[in-house]
Amino acid sequence: MGNKLMDMKDARFTIYDQLKIEELFAYEKFSEYTKEMVDMAIETAEKLAVNDYYPLNPVGDKTGVHFDNGKAIVPPEFHAAYKKFCDGGWTAPAESYELGGQQMPTILNYLTQMLFFAANQSLMVYTCLTHSAGKVVETFGTDEQKAKYLEPIWNGTWGGCMDLTEPEAGSDVGNIRTKAIPRDDGTFLIKGNKMFISQGESDLTENLIHILLARIEGDPEGTKGLSCFIVPKYRVNKDGSMGALNDVVCTGIEHKMGMKGSATASLAYGDNNDCIGELIGGRGKGIITMFHMMNEQRIVVGMEGIAMGSTAYLHALNFARERKQGVAFGQRTGAQVSIIEHPDVRRNLLVSKAYTEGIRALLLYAAKCIDMQEITSDEAAKQNYSDLVEILTPICKSGGTDRGFDACITAIQIFGGYGYCQEYYVEQVARDCKITSIYEGTNGIQANDLLGRKISMKKGAAFQALINEIQASVAAAKKDSGLSPYAADLEKYLKQFIKITDLLRTRQSENGFLAYSWATPYLAIAEDLAVAWMLLDQSVVASAKLKTGGADADFLTSKINTAKFFISSILPQVTGRLDAIEKNDDTFLKLEDKYFID
């Protein structure tokens, strides 16, 4: 077996054969890239992930982050690995050459990030949040702010974090109470409290840049009154040098189920009336500014979830091949066989394989859409790619995290009693993975976003863009006699999904409470259809290569059979959800609070 983090053969097939990354090299932005450069980047990332990040994951889990007099002390071993990561240019590889990046295609950047997430989620959180903080400064900052903050953020000398959640607000950001008081010099005095702030405090970097939501005194209640601020741990002088310690105090760190190597802080701002922040993005534009960071993080979190699902699946696959127990199916006596020979174990592995490969492909497809949106000069195409990214974001976030966690739990099941013990790696990965379905808007919020906003945005244009892409893959598969029946099945479910979507859009105006009770099942249907689409699309490519004598017939056959298995054995499960939503039974409305017995 390979690295036990990601099936690299499948990953390369996805970016080269299915998504055709080399097409990007015809555009000026990526004209310096070649297949050899892509291979080198993947190999370098894999080496760092396997040799430096992966061995430290159990170390971080055991050591954890320690709180000492307002400071969060990360596992000491993290520092050297983080420095290697920064020195290798992995902090912002997709940024332009002018900004110190490698101008790497997003699709390649996402693939390498998934390797690092699979190797050590706790350590990678510090980096991915730093990148998102940098994008806010790059996109919305003034020239002075960019000059002060961007270079040390992009090279990893300084960290970054996103400060939203408050004790009384939670996901209700409109209820945020942290306030900003204007000062004579144009800066603001920040006063308030935040909690659950990943990398809200740590000793991993020299400085820490908080991107914070607060309400300027006198501005209206709700989300429209919020503004965004840069609040550095150490104040930054105009020449970029670090100044005095700002009045941002870490009051404690969270003791979590998993992700123990990641510092999650509670913070107090301005207890001494000396927390200084800079407005970024415009007064009252806080939600627009912050959502630029959050939308990137939602796709990133989807990558985190499926990356951990990937490593859990590969560990389980390795165990199932090595663990011998029982005799061959149908036999009463004989030599013990590897447990992968037992039907239930093999089915569990196939389910994890299908979801892992399908959702990873979906995330990389979204990444290519991001690339194409930026480089194409065709305005209609640019809008279409933008619409696809919009509607795929909640599907990628929820699908990556829920199915990633499922793969972790399935891995524990395959390990049996061993999997429940801390001595075995999959126990930690499951604990680490669970938070991803809660990060950056719970998956229930993603379901509401898909149903309430994305399917209706631009009069349904984004939804139709996704349907068009799936239908194109179905049409291509129908031309292959071996795949045509499976394409027809996907087409059948897709038509039912379109019908249900129209029904739900109508019902939102009739009884919104009941309509939104179907949001999560609706999102689950979308996820399964998206996975079936990606696997079918891959099978078309694999079938064509196989017919022309493509190398590695076993791998290509596996791709075809994985698609067939998913569409014939897993996808039919959407029928129950589709039928339930269509029936729209209103018993849900009758189950009032009093019927929940204490």
Residues of the domain holding 27:
8-140
**Residue that is last in its domain, among 90, 109, 140:** 140
- Measured CA to CA, the distance from residue 24 to residue 31 in angstroms comes to 8
Report yes or no on 339 lying in a domain: no
**Adjacent-strand bridge partners of 276:** 189
Is 440 considered catalytic here?
Answer: yes
- Single out the residue in 140, 166, 190 at which a domain terminates: 140
**Residue 176 banded pLDDT, cuts 50, 70, 90:** confident
On whether residue 376 sits in a domain, the answer given is no
Q: So what's the pLDDT on residue 296?
A: 86
* Percent of the chain as helix, strand, coil, to the nearest 5: 60, 10, 25
Q: What is the pLDDT confidence band of residue 187, given thresholds at 50, 70 and 90?
A: very high
Q: Which of 184-188, 245-249, 329-333 has the lowest mean pLDDT?
A: 329-333
Q: Are residues 115 and 194 in the same domain?
A: no
φ/ψ of residue 579, rounded to 5: -65, -40
Q: What total number of domains does the chain contain?
A: 3
Give yes or no: residues 128 and 229 share one domain: no
For the stretch 349-404, pLDDT in tens is: 999 999 999 999 999 999 999 999 999 999 999 999 999 999 999 999 999 999 99
Does 519 fall in a domain?
yes
Does residue 233 sit in the same domain as residue 116? no
Q: Are strands 158-163 and 207-216 parallel, antiparallel or unpaired?
A: parallel
Q: Can you give the pTM of this predicted structure?
A: 0.95
| CATH number of the domain bearing residue 112 | 1.10.540.10
In a domain, 556, yes or no: yes
What span, in angstroms and rounded, lies between the C-alpha atoms of 248 and 232?
Answer: 8
Q: Is residue 308 part of a domain?
A: no
Are the C-beta atoms of residues 389 and 366 closer than 8 Å to each other? yes
Question: How far does CA 113 lie from the centroid of its chain?
Answer: 10
Which residue shows structure tokens 């954890």? 64
Look up tokens 């290697």; give the residue.
84
Structure tokens at 1: 């077996």
The DSSP symbol for 49 reads I
User: Is residue 424 domain-resident?
Assistant: no
Q: Cα–Cα–Cα angle for 445, 448, 453, nearest 5°? A: 120
Residues 128 and 15 in one domain: yes
Instruction: Establish if 420 belongs to a structural domain.
Output: no
Within this chain, do residues 61 and 108 fall inside the same structural domain, yes or no? yes
pLDDT > 70 in the chain, percent: 99
> Of 427, 426, 434, nearest to 405 (Cα)?
434
Q: Are residues 162 and 89 in the same domain?
A: no
Do 65 and 174 fall within a single domain?
Answer: no
pLDDT grade, residue 544 (50/70/90)?
Answer: very high
The strand pairing partners of 584, in sequence order, are: none
Instruction: Give yes or no: residues 115 and 179 share one domain.
Output: no
Place of tokens 């953020």: 153
Alpha carbons within 13 angstroms on the beta-carbon side of residue 205 total: 29
Phi, psi for 204 (deg, rounded to 5): -75, -30
Q: Which two tokens stand for residue 490?
A: 């996907």
Q: Which of 201, 304, 390, 440 is catalytic?
A: 440
Say if residue 163 is in the same domain as residue 70: no
Place of tokens 């893959």: 473
- The rounded radius of gyration (Å) of the Cα atoms in the chain is 24
Could you tell me if 274 and 162 lie in one domain?
A: yes
Q: For residues 123 and 74, give the distance between their C-alpha atoms in angstroms, rounded to a whole number.
A: 9
Q: Cα torsion for 436, 438, 444, 450, to the nearest 10°? A: -50
Length of the chain: 598
Residues 459 and 562 in one domain: yes
My answer on whether 102 and 166 are in the same domain is no
Average pLDDT, the chain: 95
> Is the per-residue pLDDT at 15 higher than 80?
yes
One-letter amino acid for residue 184 of the chain: D
Q: Are 458 and 448 in contact (CB under 8 A)?
A: no
| Cβ neighbours for 535, distance < 8 A, ≥ 6 positions apart | 354, 357, 358, 361, 559, 562, 563, 566, 567
Query: What is the per-residue pLDDT across 17-56, written as a single tens digit (0 to 9) for each?
Result: 999 999 999 999 999 999 999 999 999 999 999 999 999 9
Q: What is the mean pLDDT of residues 409-431?
A: 96
Q: Which residue has the higher pLDDT, 168 or 74?
A: 74
> Residue 74, SS3?
coil
Q: Torsions phi, psi of 283, nearest 5? A: -65, 130
Tokens of 287: 């939600």
3-state secondary structure of 579: helix
For residue 190, the domain's CATH number is 2.40.110.20
Cα separation, 118 vs 116, whole angstroms: 5
Please check whether residue 300 lies inside any domain of the structure. Answer: no
* Per-residue model confidence (pLDDT) at position 525: 98
The pLDDT tens digits of the residues spanning 84-136 come to 999 999 999 999 998 889 999 999 999 999 999 999 999 999 998 899 999 99
DSSP-assigned beta bridge partners for residue 242: 236
Which tens digits make up the pLDDT trace of 522-537?
999 999 999 999 999 9
Is the pLDDT reported for residue 169 higher than 80? no
Residue type, 94: A
What confidence score (pLDDT) does residue 1 get?
58
For residue 172, is pLDDT > 90?
Answer: no
